[in-house]
Chain A
């Protein structure tokens, strides 16, 4: 009984203390990703500096969060003062006038320091609408020990052929070692993020310049065949329901030979407290096919203020704190340099302490710079976005297509049927939305 009583007492005290000092409440909706949870843990630092601001956290799983904040911002529900959203939402919401421009921010925030590739994705007509909390691209993470055992050497910039060869050589299913772990969980931000980025390197695209869906092309067939072959032959069981988090857990347990996913995972897989394979992880650029585009994406989880909030100034103070350089130093001090939120500021990649603590820093920066949201594909397209199409319809469409791809991975349909279905779904949706007749 003792811990329980103490726990209640502590919370009651916290409530009383909170009520006594607070004047403005900032409600923050955020994802339950590691970096955000760390931020929540360090938030005392902010409230010490700003005793007149109280922070309320609403931490939700990604899909739930996305639905909640979209619903709230679109209906002007006014539930949140700060929202965690990504590079997909910011341009669309900014254009709709749903976000408060980040102007008149506190002194010393230094937005010029943000990486240009990231900042451009958060800017609409020259106005910044969200501040990047961490940025990511994708890259190959692999087990150096297994690679050595297999007698192979990972090039800095591998091709898909090499990945296939290495996956075959590393797989040892009897010992639960799977050559490659890839996303299979349906969702536009899950398997479709990976597949869309991958398809770019095969010369595929979602739509041609007249918004005609392109799933009936050879390039998509090649993409899907390669993907299915890799995951079915060398992937873990249950791959069709594995997303980022599931694969991270598998990799940390030493069950994956290679894993192509977000660069932000690098600090988790190299953290000896969490990862059993921390000292034998190598990094390489996302694979390509010699067509001039790599299969890597670009994403930044960012903090934005919905328009119509009643705590705009306090929200700006918070965003300036969470995305400022002082926060980076705060994390470094408490958790070590390797754990600071990556991929947002140029200055971080010029910091010697960071570069020596984070063996993945250089590769991360290279990957981020290699992605080009304005020009994502081999053939021209009418949209921006590397692993997504920045139109409002994409959220639903991408998820529906993701379901089809996931069914193909589960063996319920063939690749051919899946692509035909994807083509039908996309045509149906685009016709309804009035892009095509």
Chain B
């Protein structure tokens, strides 16, 4: 149906985006790739000799590497589970008629507008601090010893903070999808005597499938490179308990200023992210084509 002419026009219209993104990918990425084969430490200027795969060997043999990989998966997976399950629950709830919907919705989406640094600072100091935080006070009232979140359960605490930021996003998309559900179908099911649970399970949930994949895809893109929250709250510690891949690369390239190893780590992270990406794209591609 599309003519030769409109195809050419289409290419012309897509070109700027593609060229810009290609440049954005290739120039820094090309430099990163090049640096990853050099012995290059910013703190020790001089010749930066070509060392082949030495940086990769050093980065991959770091015991922290495996830990950080696991932490990355736990972080992404944990936040996804919490936000998707919580988002579905909130979407179902907010879809019901109630008084003050507007204000409720504003309150629920607000965390999405908060900068990651601010939210990390607020949670760390005003809530999770074991001496002055609000949670410590709650513990005191309940007569249990204050729990030191960021020391005893650093990764779980970060998952909690990040989930708080992303829950609104998931809720919004799921709620929009929910509202597009044909209400007659639900009514018919209700008349047939289907319980609320089975209406949810057989009608609402399948309808949300697409929205869920969208939430998973978009959040994964952002969650793979979670950084500010870790830097502000735990600095990747204690030990390496909350170090994810992004933070490990940061530690190499900006704490040690070992640009060579940092670049090698960056390349590894990009490859891994793309594996995840391909996996996700397959999943989402199938779902979006339908």
Contact = CB atoms under 8 A, between A and B. Distances in A.
Whether A and B touch directly in their complex, counting CB atoms under 8 A apart, is answered as yes
A91 to B, nearest CB: 13
A412 B239 contact: yes
B234 A241 contact: yes
B152 A410 contact: yes
B57 to A, nearest CB: 10
A396 B43 CA distance: 11
Contacts of A185: 235
Interface string B144-163: 01101011100000000000
Contacts of B236: 403
B70 to A, nearest CB: 15
A187 B251 CA distance: 11
Interface in A45-86: 63, 67, 70-71, 74-75
A406 B237 contact: yes
B258 interface: yes
A392 B41 contact: yes
Contacts of B41: 392
B238 A406 contact: yes
A390 B114 CA distance: 40
Nearest to B44: A392
Interface stretch (A1-9, A232-240, A309-317): A232-240
Nearest to B129: A238
A322 B62 CA distance: 44
Contacts of A393: 43, 256
A92 B42 CA distance: 12
B100 interface: no
B153 to A, nearest CB: 10
B168 interface: no
Contact of A412 (B145, B150, B241): B241
B255 interface: yes
Report, as a range, how many residues of chain B touch the other chain: 20 to 34
Contacts of B45: 74, 96
Nearest to A188: B255
Contact of A410 (B58, B235, B239): B239
Contact of B254 (A71, A176, A236, A411): A71
B42 A74 contact: yes
A342 to B, nearest CB: 28
Interface in B101-160: 129-132, 136, 145-146, 148, 150-152
B257 interface: yes
Interface residues of A, number: 40
Contacts of B146: 237
Nearest to B250: A67
B172 interface: no
Nearest to B55: A432
B240 interface: yes
A255 B131 contact: yes
B259 to A, nearest CB: 9
Nearest to A418: B239
A273 to B, nearest CB: 19
Contact of B256 (A237, A395, A404, A411): A395
Contact of B151 (A187, A403, A410): A410
A413 B239 contact: yes
A238 B256 contact: no
Contacts of A94: none
A238 B234 CA distance: 11
Contacts of B234: 241
Contacts of A250: 131
Contacts of A239: 151
Report which residue of A185, A236, A239, A396 has the largest number of chain B beta carbons within 10 angstroms of its beta carbon: A396
A249 B148 CA distance: 17
Contacts of A67: 254-255
Contacts of B256: 393, 395-397
A266 interface: no
A335 B255 CA distance: 37
B238 A407 contact: yes
Contacts of A397: 256
Contacts of A186: 235, 237-238
Contacts of A432: 58
A411 B238 CA distance: 9
Interface string B224-250: 000000000011111111000000000
Report which residue of A237, A399, A400, A432 has the largest number of chain B beta carbons within 10 angstroms of its beta carbon: A237
Nearest to B232: A61
Report which residue of A185, A407, A411, A413 has the largest number of chain B beta carbons within 10 angstroms of its beta carbon: A407
B196 to A, nearest CB: 44
Contacts of B255: 67, 395-396, 399
A410 B44 CA distance: 34
Contacts of A258: none
A404 B42 contact: no
Nearest to A178: B131
A407 B241 contact: yes
A403 B42 contact: no
A236 B238 contact: no
Given A71-B42, A399-B251, A236 B131 contact: yes
Contacts of A428: 62
A304 interface: no
Given A67-B254, A186-B235, A241 B150 contact: yes
B131 A70 contact: no
Nearest to B62: A428
A409 interface: yes
Contact of A238 (B42, B150, B241): B150
A400 B256 CA distance: 10
Contacts of A74: 42-43, 45, 257
Contacts of B130: 236-238
8 contacts: A67-B255, A74-B42, A74-B45, A96-B43, A250-B131, A403-B235, A407-B239, A412-B239
Given A74-B42, A250-B131, A407-B237, 16 more contacts: A70-B257, A71-B254, A74-B257, A96-B45, A236-B130, A237-B146, A239-B151, A240-B237, A392-B41, A392-B257, A396-B252, A396-B256, A396-B257, A396-B258, A403-B236, A407-B240
Closest 4 CB pairs of A and B: A407-B239, A396-B256, A238-B130, A392-B43
